[in-house]
């Protein structure tokens, strides 16, 4: 069990609606205030026992929530340091796993979407669609990206998620452990995909996953013999996240 989940269980939290981050911060000796911040999303200043966490009041609710959980991650892992976290530090899934910001992100994800509460809900989901992910993100008051990342890492579905920017370049990706390692999404987005239509032409989001030749997304030898299901949604900063559901042949 992760440190964040151990903290939640020590507080007797048994339902997503009870994950009150301000109250949790108080139990850890951290006071929280929301105010306009310039140049950063959140920051924490503390001594060995007490801290003050400031969160940008101009940000959307779920962004504020993740930022607060992120700073609590710093309080757990990097106590005694003064840290200023801008929007590129928090929720940057392209950063290294050993990066302090990624450590804080992992703590935040486990605090907002703890496995012991998430897993029973994932067991009721048949397919990893955006509809299913949005229902979870609403219940846990989490971002859709963070929810899909957790769904992928749960290893319950043969799924890959990947983020592409306006230049059609892949920024980062994650895949379920069950998937063979050669199923790696292409570096450059294929203009024939539904995802490219959304990103470049303003096409509307699909209500359900659509079938697509796997070779549009994967360039290993033999990819042309497979199909994948594709569904995407737009992110801030002119980026897009795609959810790819693979067939049984992709499973190790």
pLDDT, one tens digit per residue, over 119-159 is 999 999 999 999 999 999 999 999 999 999 999 999 999 99
Query: 109 pLDDT exceeds 80?
Result: yes
136 and 171 in one domain? yes
Asked if the structure places residue 192 within a domain, the reply is yes
Asked if the structure places residue 138 within a domain, the reply is yes
193 and 140 in one domain? yes
Joined tokens for residue 212: 């697509």
Is 110 or 97 the better-scoring residue by pLDDT?
110
Tell whether pTM > 0.85. yes
Query: 185 pLDDT exceeds 60?
Result: yes
175 and 68 in one domain? no
State which of 58, 82, 112 marks the end of a domain.
112
8 and 50 in one domain? yes
Q: How far apart are CA 47 and CA 49, in angstroms?
A: 6
143 and 237 in one domain? yes
- CATH code of 52's domain: 1.10.10
Q: How far apart are CA 108 and CA 98, in angstroms?
A: 15
146 and 107 in one domain? no
Q: What is the pLDDT of residues 198-250, one digit of tens each?
A: 999 999 999 999 999 999 999 999 999 999 999 999 998 899 999 999 998 88
Quote the pLDDT of residue 237.
85
Asked if the structure places residue 117 within a domain, the reply is no
Asked if the structure places residue 245 within a domain, the reply is yes
Asked if the structure places residue 126 within a domain, the reply is no
pLDDT-above-90 percentage for the chain: 80
- Of these ranges, 71-80, 83-92, 164-173, the one predicted with the greatest mean pLDDT is 164-173
- CATH code of 242's domain: 3.30.450
165 and 88 in one domain? no
193 and 96 in one domain? no
Mean pLDDT of the chain: 92
Asked if the structure places residue 140 within a domain, the reply is yes
Joined tokens for residue 141: 């008051």
Query: For the chain, what is the domain count?
Result: 2
Asked if the structure places residue 170 within a domain, the reply is yes
Quote the pLDDT of residue 146.
95
Quote the pLDDT of residue 196.
97
Q: What's the gap between Cα 183 and its chain centre?
A: 20
Name the pLDDT band for 87 (thresholds 50, 70, 90).
low
246 and 138 in one domain? yes
Query: 86 pLDDT exceeds 60?
Result: no
178 and 73 in one domain? no
145 and 215 in one domain? yes
Asked if the structure places residue 122 within a domain, the reply is no
State which of 112, 145, 165 marks the end of a domain.
112
Query: 189 pLDDT exceeds 70?
Result: yes
Quote the pLDDT of residue 39.
82
CA distances from 185 to 72, 156, 167, 188, 215 (A): 33, 19, 16, 9, 10
Joined tokens for residue 20: 């009150």
Quote the pLDDT of residue 6.
97
Residue 188 makes CB contacts below 8 A (sequence gap 6+) with 168, 169, 170
- Domain residue limits at 214: 132-250
225 and 174 in one domain? yes
């Amino acid at each position: 069990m992760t440190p964040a989940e151990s903290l939640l269980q020590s507080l007797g939290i048994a339902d997503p609606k009870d994950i009150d981050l301000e109250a949790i911060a108080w139990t850890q000796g951290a006071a929280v205030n929301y105010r306009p911040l310039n140049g950063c999303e959140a920051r924490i200043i503390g001594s060995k026992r007490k801290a003050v966490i400031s969160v940008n009041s101009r940000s959307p609710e779920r962004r504020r929530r993740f930022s607060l959980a992120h700073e609590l991650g710093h309080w757990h892992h990097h106590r005694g340091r003064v840290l200023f976290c801008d929007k590129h530090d928090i929720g940057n899934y392209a950063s290294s796993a050993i990066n302090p910001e990624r450590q804080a992100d992992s703590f935040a994800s486990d605090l907002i979407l703890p496995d012991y509460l998430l897993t029973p809900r994932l067991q009721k989901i048949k397919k990893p669609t955006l509809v299913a992910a949005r229902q979870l993100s609403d219940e846990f008051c989490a971002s859709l990206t963070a929810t899909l990342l957790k769904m992928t890492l749960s290893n319950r579905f043969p799924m890959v998620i990947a983020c592409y920017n306006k230049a059609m370049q892949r920024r980062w990706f994650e895949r379920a452990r069950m998937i063979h390692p050669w199923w790696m999404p292409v570096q450059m987005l294929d203009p024939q995909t539904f995802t490219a239509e959304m990103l470049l032409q303003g096409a509307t989001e699909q209500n359900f996953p659509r079938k697509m030749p796997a070779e549009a997304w994967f360039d290993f030898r033999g990819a042309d013999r497979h199909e994948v299901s594709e569904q995407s949604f737009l992110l801030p900063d002119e980026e897009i996240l795609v959810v790819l559901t693979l067939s049984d042949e992709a499973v190790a």
